[in-house]
Structure 1
């Protein structure tokens, strides 16, 4: 599929989706959000894709925020619809995707950009990355899950400070906060993500999908994550991947998971 705002490349069980709006510092507009949904959906359906990497084009920005020109004159109802539709179509969609999604944060990840990175299953940053939620400086609040996911990742106090000051933190501070898993040079960012993705791809995709669901359950109101884990654990025993994984272990060889 051809996209106006994305570049998509699939190679060696990894699909890399690059947001390609360099003149706008890869800012998210509604078209880009819709395209990201479609690209992620297609990659998730592709049996050859074991891991998805999301990044931004160029060296300056992952995603520098939402495209403010699109919603500067919205009404209260239009603003609520923008947030609701965006969360459903992209941010919640990524979080609950059965294929692991790694955010390769190259440069600025601000506002909707940081919210996009936080919706991914984990994040790796280049050492020039800057992250923040500056929405209150515009008289609005984060609307794509930022007020919920940031406290989950860095703690309530740090999240409150970042949101209230509208300030940015650098990559090493983000690493210290637990917002990103690794920091590396810009040149090594994608190679490191691909190295991690390669390790992931050698494991059972069925088990990984179940693990994603179980981990996410811990953050869902009214859901007992332990019960979700127990059920998913039990279901694992009925999969071909379990049969192959245990057989390979007993035979002292590497598993060749069928993915079912």
Structure 2
């Protein structure tokens, strides 16, 4: 009887050691990378996605993927605070093609007694945003992906004048994304393109150019990461604006994550610290 117990114990110990060894080795290469890249087709590279200026859909999106995002944020300006909120839905109707619909809101409150409420911007549903993104290059061997995309914003009137008229203008925003993973854990990404705003009541067209860069470290075997996003804008007057956004993403459940972002302006005199939270839910597909 004792010999049987010893044999069974040795067998269980061997099984435990074998399983633990496999998991440990897999973690070195990141369990999640294995899950994303090596088990399904077409090819897809795991990239850390920035949390403030996020992508339309994962690079190399696969048909059937979908995601809901809820975001809330606070920006401390010189004379007033602005609160932002957004709801967005993104999905992939075809392999490597992502689509998105977003409703962004902004609300304002004064933070200075000397600031007149009459000068306070009006609360508003900023726009209806429609977007598409096509990953035209996905290479697992060099862990690199590239995508072209386009965002169109139908700018809406503020709540005080809502519907008079309903539409105030259009914003045209083509963009390019290039992402590279270095080894198993380090990620870099560039998101860049012009933003062209045309208001119906004005003959002038406003043009600016955005260059958003991000760097992240993703913890092996998870989708949790820490990193930084740097949002840079050059307007038509050659004024340069930049905001540094340290951030982290934490998984709450298998299909639920939360992103936490802090904004530190590097060149804006009228904007101070800001914060932003993004709740990310991926329905099963």
State TM-score, norm by structure 1: 0.25
Higher strand share: 2
The answer to which structure has the higher helix fraction is 1
Please say which structure displays the higher CA radius of gyration.
2
When the two structures are superposed, what TM-score results if normalisation uses the length of structure 2?
Answer: 0.23
